């Protein structure tokens, strides 16, 4: 009989149990492995019956590879479609729910946005001649494709290849609608891919009639009008349902380039384009030559429109601002008093266009933008591009471009706040920050320089040295945000020399802090919003908080003292205004000359100017001190006519003449750029009289003497 209390027998029992467990595990694993092998063999035997040889195997191999690549392609397409999916989340159907009439600063009507431009007409009531003209010209296979016309794309590719240039587009009407509803006119592969996905989405969610109706309602038609109904009223003074074939052809011709073919701007070009549309109708088989001959012989006549053109880029931005403010009230039929001054706006537009016409080809620059603020924050002019009809993309408010050296003011502002002065010296020499090393223009280094010399000569190493050794990156980013840069500022060691992208509006807003005495500029384009009963729903002065100080008075004074030297002895000598009006500002030129900037100010206005190319190609060595500075001067000279001049805080003396500035530089070369000696300034009227007198005397001289006088 076993003794249960015998401790020697307990370990034997435990070992017996463990051996049983181990045996069970071994047998179970072996059986599982054996069974798995049997199952795998059964599966293999099953699929062997599908094994093929010879030419069939090649087909199956290719099919398998296609399936694999197709799966990968499907995943890639989903990734590429994400921007399109995001765009469709917006309430795009109700974007025109607002009915807004805009006036300028003096109360004159300057344009409309939203449904007020013209109530849409049901597609069944639109004349058949207009629908056929649009389809024959824009998308003949509209009712046959699924949003992307593969046949049309191939035909356009062959035609363009034969011509050696782009003479025919392959975009469908649905793709054009997708661009109008969701995208900008920026030319890029990403935008075209997103456009294609959006076209497929529109085809899946709307009928062909709905797509065509929306296209006719939303397209820009020139003259500040949106939609065919508004264009018919604007150009012909009649309802869209009453237009004849000749008028339909002229309207259909506007979709390609409304600014170029707008009949109130260029009637011969509009009629020539309408004749092309009539030819398209015949070639497409939608009409016969006999049906269009009367329209060829009797082209459409238009209502005489000698009124001022609408500031469309500004109106688009102001309309966005209205919708942002609309959360404060429920009314959607509104009258909005804006800050724009149409005289200054016209001068700004002419300045951009004149500069591009005269120098755009030589500098290889195709686009420009400008924003002018009156000190106090009111936007007096906004130019978002060269031609609104060609491209409605607002380069003043939406284009993110590298600011180059014009971004350095934020670094120097932080330096002034930290206790430095314009006379503080720092070493201009090669510097490394990790693996990155900035270089000066032409790789020249001056040794020890003052901060006022460094900013005037746009030295790159100095702001980088300040950021690395004394200030840090975060305070510079915070300063840019505080002064008005709304674009994301990257956390990167290169931002002291302007690698973080900003908009023209950002730069104008931030620079306006300097003439505001260090306070926020309170940039705004809307002064009042009223309903049609005259009730004030929003008032800027009443409803917006007062400006906050972002720069101390001393720091602002130091910055103004440094920035008002640059147009006279620095990199922006072409920006100095006439009649002794003191000018401050900073140039900016980015790597490979892709962007050229000048942002400047007086006691009255702040103006930011940018030139470059939409496709980011390099210009022909264009710097901020060249075309941007010249354009700034042209627009600002106009803006300062007949106004009371204000002083720039901390800089009370008048502007120096170029001769005096040169003398001061020559007087103390060891100081780099010493403090200017300010001469006394003649009155504006006296200067004008002397200038006119000089011109009269010059005209009275013999020809040879005139040449000598001009040379001087």
Active site (catalytic) residues: 138, 405
The DSSP line for 642-708 is TS---PBTTB-SPPPPHHHHHHHHHH-GGGSSPPP-PPP---HHHHHHHHHHHHHHHHHS-HHHHHH
Tokens of 624: 């901020």
The DSSP line for 102-138 is EE-TTS-EEEEEEGGG-----GGGS-HHHHHHHHHHH
The rounded distance, in Å, linking the Cα atoms of 496 and 411 is 6
The rounded distance, in Å, linking the Cα atoms of 221 and 6 is 106
Angle 280-281-286 from CA coordinates, rounded to 5°:
140
The rounded distance, in Å, linking the Cα atoms of 477 and 637 is 33
The rounded distance, in Å, linking the Cα atoms of 283 and 275 is 12
- Residue 313 phi/psi, 5° resolution? -60, -40
Tokens of 485: 């840069």
- Residue 40 phi/psi, 5° resolution? -60, -40
CB 301 within 8 A of CB 283: no
What is the Cβ-side half-sphere exposure of residue 171, based on CA atoms within 13 angstroms? 22
DSSP state of 386: S
Q: How many helices and strands in the chain, by DSSP H and E?
A: 28, 12
Angle between helices 173-182 and 208-218 (to 10 degrees): 50
Strand locations in 226-366, DSSP E? Answer: 333-338
CB 237 within 8 A of CB 303: yes
């Amino acid at each position: 009989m076993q003794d249960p209390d015998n401790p020697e027998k307990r370990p034997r029992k435990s070992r017996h149990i463990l051996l049983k467990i181990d045996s069970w595990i071994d047998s179970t694993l072996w059986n599982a492995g054996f069974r798995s092998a049997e199952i795998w063999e059964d599966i293999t035997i099953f699929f062997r019956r599908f094994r093929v040889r010879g030419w069939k195997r090649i087909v199956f191999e290719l099919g398998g590879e296609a399936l694999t690549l197709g799966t990968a392609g499907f995943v890639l397409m989903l990734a590429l479609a994400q921007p399109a999916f995001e765009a469709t989340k917006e309430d795009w159907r109700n974007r025109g729910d607002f009915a807004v009439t805009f006036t300028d600063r003096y109360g004159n009507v300057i344009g409309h946005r939203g449904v007020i431009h013209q109530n849409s007409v049901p597609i069944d009531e639109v004349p058949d001649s207009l629908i056929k003209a649009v389809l024959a010209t824009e998308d003949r296979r509209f009712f046959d494709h699924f949003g992307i016309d593969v046949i049309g794309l191939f035909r356009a590719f062959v035609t363009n290849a034969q011509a050696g240039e782009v003479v025919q587009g392959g975009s469908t009407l649905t793709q054009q609608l997708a661009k109008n509803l969701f995208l900008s006119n920026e030319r890029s592969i990403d935008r075209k891919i997103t456009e294609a996905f959006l076209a497929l989405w529109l085809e899946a969610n709307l009928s062909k009639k709905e797509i065509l109706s929306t296209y006719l309602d939303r397209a820009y038609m020139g003259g500040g009008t949106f939609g065919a109904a508004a264009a018919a009223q604007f150009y012909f003074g009649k309802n869209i349902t009453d237009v004849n074939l000749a008028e339909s052809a002229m309207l259909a011709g506007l979709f390609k380039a409304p600014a170029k073919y707008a009949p109130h701007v260029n009637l011969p070009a509009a009629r020539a384009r309408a004749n092309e549309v009539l030819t398209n109708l015949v070639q497409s088989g939608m009409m016969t030559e006999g049906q269009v001959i009367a329209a060829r012989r009797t082209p459409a006549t238009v209502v005489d429109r000698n009124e001022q053109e609408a500031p469309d880029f500004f109106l688009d931005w102001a309309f966005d601002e209205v919708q942002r403010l609309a959360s404060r009230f429920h009314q959607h039929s509104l009258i909005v008093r804006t800050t724009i001054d149409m005289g200054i706006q016209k001068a700004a537009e002419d300045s951009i266009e004149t500069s591009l016409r005269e120098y755009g080809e030589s500098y290889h620059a195709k686009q420009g933008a400008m924003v002018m603020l009156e000190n106090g924050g009111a936007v007096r002019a906004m130019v978002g591009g060269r031609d609104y009809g060609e491209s409605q993309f607002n380069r003043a408010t939406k284009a993110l471009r590298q600011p180059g050296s014009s971004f350095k003011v934020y670094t120097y502002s932080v330096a002034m706040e930290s206790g430095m002065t314009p006379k503080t010296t720092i070493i201009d020499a090669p510097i490394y920050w990790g693996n990155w090393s900035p270089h000066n223009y032409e790789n020249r280094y001056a040794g020890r320089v003052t901060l006022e010399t460094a900013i005037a000569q746009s030295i790159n190493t100095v702001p980088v040295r300040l950021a690395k050794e004394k200030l840090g990156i975060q305070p510079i980013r915070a300063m840019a945000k505080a002064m008005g840069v709304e674009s994301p500022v990257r956390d990167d060691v290169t931002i002291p020399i302007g690698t973080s992208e900003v908009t023209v509006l950002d730069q104008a807003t931030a620079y306006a802090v300097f003439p505001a005495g260090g306070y926020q500029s309170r940039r705004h384009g809307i002064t009042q919003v009223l309903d049609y009963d005259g009730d004030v729903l929003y008032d800027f002065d009443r409803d917006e908080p007062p400006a906050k100080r972002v720069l101390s008075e001393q720091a602002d004074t130091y910055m103004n003292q440094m920035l008002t030297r640059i147009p006279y002895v620095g990199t922006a000598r072409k920006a100095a205004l006439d009649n002794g009006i003191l000018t401050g500002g900073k140039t900016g030129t980015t790597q490979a000359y892709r962007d050229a900037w000048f942002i400047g100010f007086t006691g009255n206005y702040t103006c930011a100017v940018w030139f470059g190319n939409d496709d980011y190609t390099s210009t022909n060595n264009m710097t901020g001190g060249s075309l941007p500075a010249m354009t700034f001067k042209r627009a600002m000279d106009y803006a300062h006519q007949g106004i009371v001049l204000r002083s720039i805080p901390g800089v009370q003396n008048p502007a120096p003449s170029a001769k005096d500035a040169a003398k001061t530089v020559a007087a103390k070369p060891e100081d780099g750029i010493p403090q200017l000696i300010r001469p006394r300034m003649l009155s504006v009227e006296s200067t004008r009289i002397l200038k006119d007198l000089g011109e009269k005397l010059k005209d009275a001289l013999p020809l040879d003497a005139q040449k000598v006088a001009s040379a001087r």
